[in-house]
């Protein structure tokens, strides 16, 4: 078995918090963090060669897990299963502690406006709806994990309309 080098501080923090939750007998947090670590491990061994994930990649895995929880909440609420929806909501809150602070709508709009103006300068022509993909890509590159892709797309669409 190969020796693992723990490159990510976020994964280490999750493991430490899992230990703390286990000692405190916090079953919700323990179960949620175990599922998150399992998802991270699955992402590490996916593909041709197993690799240690960076903090950015771990954040992407946790974001995906949070999205799954939010989708489940909607399904459970529409089916009238509020107790399951509440459990998923509590799990999402536990996972969201490990995500970076999201940009506010105003900050996101300012970032989009800055990208649009920087793309306008070279040609003198503002990007239109045909360049929406390029604008979204540039905004996501600057925002990183601080803005959800759907929110970025909505903000870009509003700015280009």
For 4-36, how does the pLDDT look when each residue is reduced to its tens digit (9 = 90+)? 444 468 999 999 999 999 999 999 999 999 999
Task: Return d(Cα 112, Cα 138) in angstroms, integer.
Answer: 9
Task: Return d(Cα 40, Cα 32) in angstroms, integer.
Answer: 12
CATH architecture of the domain 9-96 equals Orthogonal Bundle (1.10)
pLDDT by residue, tens only, the chain of 161 residues: 333 444 468 999 999 999 999 999 999 999 999 999 999 999 999 888 888 988 888 998 999 999 999 999 999 999 999 999 999 999 999 999 998 888 888 888 888 888 888 887 776 677 777 888 888 888 888 888 788 888 888 888 888 87
**Spatial contact of 52 and 2, defined as CB atoms under 8 Å apart:** no
- Is the pTM higher than 0.95? no
Give the pLDDT score at 147. 83
Token pair listed for 92: 């999402």
Give the pLDDT score at 50. 86
Give the pLDDT score at 44. 92
Tell the residue number behind the tokens 């803005």, with chain if given.
147
Give the pLDDT score at 119. 81
- 3-class SS at 101? coil
What tens digit of pLDDT does each residue of 106-116 get?
888 888 888 88
Task: Return d(Cα 82, Cα 59) in angstroms, integer.
Answer: 28
């Amino acid at each position: 078995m190969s020796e693992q080098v723990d490159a990510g501080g976020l994964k280490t923090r999750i493991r430490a918090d899992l230990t703390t939750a286990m000692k405190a007998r916090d079953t919700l947090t323990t179960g949620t963090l175990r599922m998150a670590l399992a998802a991270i491990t699955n992402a590490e061994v996916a593909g041709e060669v197993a690799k240690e994930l960076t903090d950015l990649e771990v954040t992407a895995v946790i974001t995906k897990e949070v999205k799954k929880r939010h989708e489940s909440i909607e399904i459970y609420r529409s089916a009238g299963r509020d107790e399951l929806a509440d459990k998923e909501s509590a799990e999402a809150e536990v996972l969201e502690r490990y995500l970076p602070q999201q940009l506010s709508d105003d900050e996101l709009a300012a970032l989009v406006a800055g990208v649009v103006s920087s793309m306008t300068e070279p040609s003198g022509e503002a990007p239109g709806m045909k360049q929406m993909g390029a604008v979204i890509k540039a905004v996501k590159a600057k925002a990183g994990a601080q803005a959800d892709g759907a929110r970025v797309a909505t903000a870009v669409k509003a700015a280009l309309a």
